[in-house]
Amino acid sequence: MQENNEHIVRVGDLDLWAEAFGDSGHPTVLLVMGAQAQGVQWPDGLVRRLVDGGRRVIRYDHRDTGRSSTVDFAAHPYTVADLASDAIAVLDDFKVERAHLVGASLGGLIVQRLAVTHPDRVLTLTSLSSQPLGTDTAAAVRRVMEGTPTPPGELPPPAPELLAALAASFPEPGASLEDYLAARLPLWRILHGPVLPFDEEEYRTLERRAYTRARDLRAGLNHALAGAADPGSAADLAAVTAPTLVVHGTEDPMFPPAHAEATAAAIAGARLVMIEGMGHTLPASAHDRLAEEILRHTGRRP
């Protein structure tokens, strides 16, 4: 049966928006987005390639993004473990016992966490543009802002120009679409990286969609608080038994390539794929390669 349907997944007092594509009889790939990002920011072109490759694909909005519920974080704080539980709830709602998990950025940490805590639900693991569990990104950001050197043995921090762009990327509540785009596009230029051609309209389209769907565009900032409250531990990754793929851009300004190398080194048998020129985004120019790697990985037999 072909699917292209939307669900509202109930998790306690929260509603999570989710959407499925493809044949329900095909292996399921659950796409888990990063901090502040909506499920629809998994590009349609990449989703289509995965479906054409024989996968059922599910994407969803985290709490505090898109059409999902927003949270009063001060009254009801949550952690990455709670975001991981949300992903399990999405699988349960679609009646999926085991899935191929693909997580980008914060989503990579979420799927790593699930591979540790719910190995029975994970067919394969793909960590994309992410970092290993236990990385103290908040401390790394503080050091950059204070001009303090990175201690020996620590993973490299985000680029200073990226942090400056992030700080300026959210206009005041009630900002018009054009004001919102004006604030967001400089951030996307830096996230995209300096090597691959930058298609401004591609990112304008992405952000227009986010703007029109969001209940509260600033609510996703809570994800940084959730990550800082419960970063997990890189030592936990030694317990991962799911076949693991680590995919990363050579020009990632958020998590430089050493983060991918550390993730792959922490998981036995993990395969590391570096995509030349890619930054911390999923541009159309990389969709063929990304789909090829994910299809190859999710097509392997247990």
Q: 300: burial class by Cβ within 10 Å (0-12, 13-18, 19+)?
A: exposed
Task: Give all domains of the chain, ordered by start, each with its CATH number.
Answer: 2-135+217-298 (3.40.50.1820)
Q: What is the pLDDT of residues 36-55, one digit of tens each?
A: 999 999 999 999 999 999 99
Fill in the amino acid letter for 80: V
pLDDT band of residue 215 (cuts 50, 70, 90) is: very high
Quick one: what percent of the chain has pLDDT higher than 90? 83
Which position has the token pair 């509540």? Answer: 173
Of 105, 88, 85, residue with least CA distance to 34: 105
Distance CA 170, CA 180 (A): 7
Q: Please state the pTM of the whole predicted model.
A: 0.96
The pLDDT value recorded for residue 5 is 86
- Scanning the structure block, which residue is given the tokens 């292209």? 4
**What is the pLDDT at residue 1?**
38
Answer yes or no: are the C-beta atoms of 113 and 41 closer than 8 Å.
no
Q: What is the pLDDT of residue 163?
A: 93
Please give the pLDDT value at position 302.
Answer: 46
Where in the sequence numbering do the catalytic residues fall? 105, 252, 280
* 56 contacts: CB under 8 Å, gap ≥ 6: 3, 20, 21, 22, 23, 24, 25, 26, 27, 28, 29
Tell me, what's the pLDDT at 301?
Answer: 53
Query: Average pLDDT for residues 96-114, to the nearest whole number?
Result: 97
Instruction: Share the mean pLDDT of the chain.
Output: 94
Q: How far apart are CA 86 and CA 55, in angstroms?
A: 22
Examine the pLDDT at 173 and tell me if it is beyond 90: no
Nearest to 29 by CA among 21, 37, 39: 21
List beta partners, residue 176.
Answer: none
CA-CA distances (angstroms) from residue 161 to 200, 272, 281? Answer: 19, 27, 16
Q: What integer pLDDT is reported at residue 112 of this predicted model?
A: 97
